[in-house]
Structure 1
Amino acid sequence: MTTKLLDRLSNDLTQLLEDPIDYNVTIEVGEAPNNRIFKVHSYILQSRNPYFKKKLNETLFNDDHVKTLTMTNTNISIKMFNVIMKYIYGGIISLEKLENSMIFDLLIASNELELDELVEHLQTHFVNNNASWLRLNFAQVYRTGYQVKNLEIIKDFCNDIIIKHPNIIFESGDFHFLPEDALISILKRDDLQLEEGKIWEYVINWGKAKNPTLPTSLDKWTSDNFLTLKETLKRCLPQIRYFSISGEDVLEKLYPYLQLLELQLFLDINTKLISPNKQISSTVLPPRKILNTTLPTRNTFSNIITDEHALKISSWIDKKKTTYIENNPYEFELLVRGSRDGFDVKTFYNICDKVSNTIIILKVKGTEEILGGYNPLEWDKNNNQWKATQDSFTFSLKIANPKNFILSRVKKFIGAINNSPKNSYLGFGFALLLKGNLKTEKTCYCRVSEAYPIPIRSNEFIQPDQTLLDECLFSVEEYEVFKIYQKNN
């Protein structure tokens, strides 16, 4: 009978890392003056890790019989490298005090350093314990999993998500940054659970994002503009199942972009709509296999945000450092929906008068932004006043850069809430100000704010001062207001 007494061995080797007697390797991590020198042992590194074995075999001893390695040109931080060294020496990995974003970076670093056991462990940890974070950062996770080898567990998780809940990637603020090959791999899937007309829209928007100089209004496009977009999408367009697109979508979505299609293809699309049994010359891809069972909806309460977003907002309300993964402690009761109740700010005040603990969420027209704010105080439809609170915040859930979420907590409490029914506007300081009819009037804006110092829009959309710049004004596609209740245990 063989007994493995590993705890003592692990502890002793970890102590050797902290008190490196007879070390013969130094590894410099980080940039001076904030760098750190790790003193380690070649025999341990070479026996535990092929990456360092190769590096050490390529490095000569100096006059002090020490080999010197540098890792200053990598994305591996000192804190991250310390975690890796403890794993190499003692087989110990502790993730409790690490943010999920750092654990994900640790996964990528471990893969780069060929720590296969740790790579598998971290992937399993995410899928089993932090799936919510993977979903909230899905586009980034999917893109990384696609670009980096050996992340098969992450890839399988992502593929399962794409099949069942494609909106998580297609409606992500990171979607436009998805690599072309990754997008094509999704478009090729027969089991992609989306209507073909929606897929066409997403592909068009992806291509337009790759060409930001294209005119915003399609009426101003020239033939050269269409040729530019066609060239960008030349590998994506053949993956569209054109003959599965409804007649209404052909008219409303395909026809405006007719110049992207070959004439014969467009003629065949219309032929099939008019006479389904008539022979055509274009290739007909099989329709996607939409599941017979009803897929879970985005959620049961909002047309704008997902359940994962609600968990994120709830964690912000409770000032948690990590996001709730499941079992949201709050109920989101819908009070106002623009498409149902109207978009005028006066309507908001009439419905929300004397209501506290509200979340306002809006989808900006023409961008991928979802902006909002939380007000713990009551709204008042009868009086203009500034209200003070230490608990309000503004946020962005979708912006056109790789950073999905921005949270801006109030700092100047006296100017936290701008309650102005007589002027027909409401705001969180001037960091997010909603005015008039939110849909028909382009009068909403975000301005540099002392109350909320972190901007929730990109710099080009932030009002620098009281001068209202047209490019910084916006209207909304939809907006919703929720009353937040603590759930009963």
Structure 2
Amino acid sequence: MATKFYERLSNDLTQLLENPIDYNVTIEVGEEPDNQIYKVHSYILQSLFKMPNISIKIFNIIIEYIYGGIISLEKLENSVIFDLLIISNELNLDELVENLQTHFVNNNASWLKLNFSRVYQTSCQVKNFNIIQEFCNNIISKYPNTIFESGNFLTLPEDALISIIKKDDLQLEESKIWQYVIQWGKAQNPTLPSNLKEWTSDNFLTLKTTLKKCLSYIRYFNISSEDFFEMIFPYQQILEPELWLDINSKLLAPNRPISSSVLPPRKILNVTLPTRITLSSNIITDEHTLEISSWIDKRESNYTENNPYEFKLLVRGSRDGFDVKTIYEICDKVSNTVIVLKVKDTGEILGGYIPCELDKNQNKWIYSQDSFAFSLKTTNLKNSILSRVKNFNNAIANYPKSSQLYFGYTLCLEGNLKTYKTCYCDSDWYDMPIRSKGHIDSNNRFNVEEYEVFEVSKKK
């Protein structure tokens, strides 16, 4: 069903779009040589545009909306609709922005949850995404670890953090909220000493200035005396003297009147909420796992929701170490693993699936008919690349003693993945290259800024 917008667009002008008589404005959409020129009218669009970052598919939808006030979403993928929402906001199409947000929340909430990290990050960066941000904040209220334990937490904008910690129904102990706020504040000032004993008055003043707006939303008078002395006492210098005195007075003499405002306690639910399973990754999204799961099941089309597999984090470079031998030590005798790597400087996400068991005790080539390597879609790669094994006898090079792990020669991991540029990609023994740069020239080798290994298993 098509949605009609006539509140601001009172006339159907689509005939002018189909037959642009007397056009006097041109809009260039897309990048050469695949760009497209649109002929439009100055009384509808005022100036000459070049829009290389907008896809022709999305602009066709927008231009029809501008001229005719009609838009149909039924045949569009949710990812396309979300891109449409972002572009509509950039073009100040406020009515369409509001309608698309409402469409998502009312009709495609499952997609928003599935792509929560991307959706929430975007809603924080875009001022007009109030409806979606409120939707995300309601999820965070019930499942605060969704954001507080995510890799994106420390990069949240200040107003996004405030919108979370000011909520009365945030299901988190006040002392933990305080700890997260302090953690966020320190992350905004990376030059602060890591050892609190080394802090000067200026260091505390820096943190106080950073957290000035956040600190007023902490419910200090709902923190136990034990947590107060353990968590807040070391940071007393970032609190106003009057508030510091009132907190101490309340702990020592609860009935004594104080001048500081006392926020009500959080509305913590008495029932235990069901655990929300979220992907623990600093590299890939839920959308990526759906694609990888589809490849494991050899589907012609990708899963769009209800992933049948669980991705359990086994190894993370920044946590466990970057030497390939670490993978063998932790994943010994483990089958059905997925390795993902974020390439340093380029942002590429490469990886592979190993259905067979790794063996830390011997060097050997492992037979497999189902292994594959891949390059996942990112902002710089429009579509993911899948490369399946074709030489089954040489599917996986299991070489722990020389610190090597190969997917044929399509993806080759060697040594310390972060320190040395020893990784490379070719196309032997798998059906296509996943990266344009080969291994012949040493300058084409790469290292990674992060890698992760997941054990993949069917959900019960």
For normalisation by structure 2, the TM-score amounts to: 0.67
- Measure, in 2, the Cα distance between the counterparts of 1:246 and 1:431: 50
The yes-or-no answer on 1:318 pairing with 2:317 is no
User: 2:339, 2:453 within 8 Å by CA — same for their partners in 1?
Assistant: yes
Aligned to 1:37: 37
- Measure, in 1, the Cα distance between the counterparts of 2:183 and 2:375: 27
Match of 2:219 among 210, 235, 241: 241
User: 1:444, 1:473 within 8 Å by CA — same for their partners in 2?
Assistant: yes
User: 2:115, 2:287 within 8 Å by CA — same for their partners in 1?
Assistant: no
User: 1:163, 1:192 within 8 Å by CA — same for their partners in 2?
Assistant: yes
The yes-or-no answer on 1:450 pairing with 2:407 is no
The yes-or-no answer on 1:179 pairing with 2:152 is no
Q: 1:386: Cα distance to partner? A: 6.2
Output the amino acid matched with 1:70.
L
Q: 1:409: Cα distance to partner? A: 7.2
Match of 1:141 among 115, 122, 133: 122
Q: 1:175: Cα distance to partner? A: 3.2
Output the amino acid matched with 1:29.
E
Output the amino acid matched with 1:380.
D
The yes-or-no answer on 1:298 pairing with 2:276 is yes
User: 2:404, 2:414 within 8 Å by CA — same for their partners in 1?
Assistant: no
Q: 1:143: Cα distance to partner? A: 1.0
User: 1:383, 1:420 within 8 Å by CA — same for their partners in 2?
Assistant: yes
Q: Deviations over 1:410-442 (max 9, x none)?
A: 8999999674555799798676978xxxxxxxx
The yes-or-no answer on 1:231 pairing with 2:231 is no
User: 2:335, 2:455 within 8 Å by CA — same for their partners in 1?
Assistant: no
User: 2:413, 2:422 within 8 Å by CA — same for their partners in 1?
Assistant: yes
Aligned to 2:146: 168
Aligned to 1:382: 361
- Measure, in 2, the Cα distance between the counterparts of 1:165 and 1:292: 15
- Measure, in 2, the Cα distance between the counterparts of 1:226 and 1:322: 54
- Measure, in 1, the Cα distance between the counterparts of 2:423 and 2:446: 14
User: 2:423, 2:445 within 8 Å by CA — same for their partners in 1?
Assistant: no
Q: Deviations over 1:132-186 (max 9, x none)?
A: 35523243233145x12xx453244234223322333333433334332332233
**Inter-CA distance 330–112: structure 2 relative to 1 (3 Å threshold):** closer
Q: 1:379: Cα distance to partner? A: 0.9
User: 1:349, 1:379 within 8 Å by CA — same for their partners in 2?
Assistant: yes
For normalisation by structure 1, the TM-score amounts to: 0.63
Q: 1:486: Cα distance to partner? A: 7.7
Output the amino acid matched with 2:199.
W
**Inter-CA distance 25–303: structure 2 relative to 1 (3 Å threshold):** closer
Q: 1:219: Cα distance to partner? A: 4.5
Q: 1:224: Cα distance to partner? A: 1.9
Match of 1:358 among 325, 337, 360: 337
- Measure, in 2, the Cα distance between the counterparts of 1:189 and 1:305: 27
Aligned to 2:189: 211
**Inter-CA distance 229–74: structure 2 relative to 1 (3 Å threshold):** farther
**Inter-CA distance 186–132: structure 2 relative to 1 (3 Å threshold):** closer
- Measure, in 2, the Cα distance between the counterparts of 1:32 and 1:159: 37
**Inter-CA distance 70–138: structure 2 relative to 1 (3 Å threshold):** same
The yes-or-no answer on 1:104 pairing with 2:77 is no
SS at match of 1:39: strand
- Measure, in 2, the Cα distance between the counterparts of 1:75 and 1:321: 29
- Measure, in 1, the Cα distance between the counterparts of 2:65 and 2:207: 49
- Measure, in 2, the Cα distance between the counterparts of 1:393 and 1:75: 25
SS at match of 1:72: strand
- Measure, in 2, the Cα distance between the counterparts of 1:407 and 1:184: 36
**Inter-CA distance 210–446: structure 2 relative to 1 (3 Å threshold):** farther
**Inter-CA distance 384–269: structure 2 relative to 1 (3 Å threshold):** farther
Q: Deviations over 1:99-141 (max 9, x none)?
A: 71x5333213324545455334422342222223552324323
Aligned length: 407
**Inter-CA distance 117–260: structure 2 relative to 1 (3 Å threshold):** closer
Aligned to 2:458: 485
**Inter-CA distance 197–407: structure 2 relative to 1 (3 Å threshold):** farther
Higher deviation after alignment, 246-255 or 29-38 = 29-38
**Inter-CA distance 75–287: structure 2 relative to 1 (3 Å threshold):** farther
**Inter-CA distance 467–244: structure 2 relative to 1 (3 Å threshold):** same
Match of 1:83 among 52, 61, 71: 61
Match of 1:154 among 127, 132, 140: 132
Q: Deviations over 1:209-253 (max 9, x none)?
A: 322333344444333222111111111112111222234433443
In the alignment, structure 2 segments of 5+ residues that lack a partner are 1-11, 342-349, 427-432, 436-442
Higher deviation after alignment, 196-205 or 445-454 = 445-454
User: 1:419, 1:427 within 8 Å by CA — same for their partners in 2?
Assistant: yes
Match of 1:286 among 247, 264, 273: 264
User: 1:311, 1:328 within 8 Å by CA — same for their partners in 2?
Assistant: no
Higher deviation after alignment, 160-169 or 222-231 = 160-169
Match of 1:329 among 308, 316, 326: 308
SS at match of 2:97: helix
Q: CA RMSD in A?
A: 5.2
- Measure, in 1, the Cα distance between the counterparts of 2:286 and 2:30: 39
Question: 1:19-34 alignment to 2 at 5 Å?
Answer: 20-30=19-29
Q: Deviations over 1:258-295 (max 9, x none)?
A: 33224554454455445544555543322111122222
User: 1:431, 1:449 within 8 Å by CA — same for their partners in 2?
Assistant: yes
**Inter-CA distance 153–139: structure 2 relative to 1 (3 Å threshold):** closer
**Inter-CA distance 312–197: structure 2 relative to 1 (3 Å threshold):** farther
- Measure, in 2, the Cα distance between the counterparts of 1:396 and 1:198: 36
SS at match of 2:306: coil
- Measure, in 2, the Cα distance between the counterparts of 1:220 and 1:417: 50
Question: 1:368-407 alignment to 2 at 5 Å?
Answer: 374-385=353-364, 391-392=372-373
SS at match of 1:37: strand
